Amino acid sequence: MFSFIKKGLEKTLGSIKDILPERVEKIDKTLLEEILIESDIPYELVEEILYYLPPASSIARADVRRVLKAYFTYPMPERSSEQTPFVELVIGVNGAGKTTTIAKLAHNYKKASQSVLLGAADTFRAAAIEQLKSWAERVDVGIVYTAQGHDPSAVAYDTISSAIAKKIDRVIIDTAGRLHNQVNLANELKKIVRICDKALLGAPHRKILILDGTQGTSAINQAKAFHEMIGIDAIIITKLDGTAKGGSLFGIAKALELPILYVGVGEGKDDLIPFNSDEYVDTILDAIFTPNHG
Ligand code: GDP
Ligand code: MG
């Protein structure tokens, strides 16, 4: 597991090494500032982190750890066993990685012996439906879909109804990331949420926002827009394998006050890692500080 998160942070760790070739016992504050900025932690946040550190000019690992950890204190929405099927609605802009992440989630759930049904409610583009169909085949789960242009809410409704009838454990619904305009998108997503609740009271149980990690802090504005539209419960950050912007997670967690469930570190079905903030912070600190003795 550890090497997995390392893979996701490889480039970020590389950029730390460029600034700090040798690990240190205590870090000079100016150097620490440079490292945090290079990791794409938003500038205001870097200033805030420095403010909460002791006033000394060189800082110990434990002090940095305490401050960095404070950015990930948002509770994880848990799946409760009574909710069957447990319905997840996946949203985010085009290209963020929604469809791929849905396949990875479905694969994970299957590995945990849960049955899964996908709903192809991104009916805006024919290619989107085909893409989810081909993933459903690859990870061997069921899928409900219609022709392009059909009402995505109807797809959501049919998926949930079918899952109830077949006693399926998990439903994951894909959505469009872009329509003719933002108002259309907001209305459509709101309608999907309403119709899910009609199909099964309380559904969707979790609204998951997918954010492209390579976009760094600019993903925060997208996230806020979606949050205002329908309210988000949790986040998944994709493409951390391709970026030195690992530090952007601090900004996203802080701006949205939402838990990060997983991070995506590749295009394959196994490239989804449960996000553990302790592990994440420690991986970054390990690149800066020499190992603790005692
Ligand atoms: P959607 O438009 O939000 O549904 O995005 P897609 O799932 O179609 O993904 C867009 C592109 O990003 C595809 O080429 C994916 O293979 C790629 N992608 C998704 N997640 C990851 C990831 O974690 N790492 C990498 N390197 N690529 C990813
Ligand atoms: Mg898609």
pLDDT for residue 4: 65
Q: Which of 9, 11, 100 to mutate to test the pocket of ligand 1 (most atoms within 8 A of CB)?
A: 100
Cβ-based neighbours of 245, under 8 Å, separated by 6 or more:
12, 39, 40, 213, 214, 215, 216
What are 86-127's pLDDT values in tens digits? 999 999 999 999 999 999 999 999 999 999 999 999 999 889
Cα–Cα distances in angstroms (integers) from residue 120 to residues 8, 87, 137, 176, in the given order: 28, 13, 13, 9
pLDDT for residue 276: 86
CB 283 near ligand 1, within 6 Å: no
Question: Does a cis peptide bond (omega within 30 degrees of 0) precede residue 55?
Answer: no
pLDDT for residue 82: 66
For residue 266, the ligand 1 atom closest to its alpha carbon is 24
For residue 128, the ligand 1 atom closest to its alpha carbon is 4
CB 97 near ligand 1, within 6 Å: yes
Instruction: Note down pLDDT in tens along the chain; length 294 residues.
Output: 456 677 778 888 888 999 999 999 999 999 999 999 888 788 888 999 999 999 989 999 999 999 999 888 777 666 665 689 999 999 999 999 999 999 999 999 999 999 999 999 999 988 999 999 999 999 999 999 999 999 999 999 999 999 999 999 999 999 998 766 788 899 999 999 999 999 999 999 999 999 998 886 678 888 888 999 999 999 999 998 876 667 777 788 788 888 899 999 899 999 999 888 888 899 889 999 998 644
CA angle 14, 19, 21 (to 5 degrees): 75
CA angle 28, 40, 291 (to 5 degrees): 45
Write out 37-67 in H/E/C secondary structure: HHCCCCHHHHHHHHHHCCCCCEEEHHHHHHH
Token pair 């020499």 in the structure block, residue: 290
Q: How far apart are CA 294 and CA 288, in angstroms?
A: 18
Considering only CA atoms, which residue is closest to atom 6 of ligand 1? 97
Token pair 């100016």 in the structure block, residue: 30
For residue 103, the ligand 1 atom closest to its alpha carbon is 7
CB 175 near ligand 1, within 6 Å: no
Which residues are bridge partners to 90 per DSSP? 208
3-class SS at 97? Answer: coil
Cα dihedral across residues 285, 286, 288, 289: positive or negative = positive
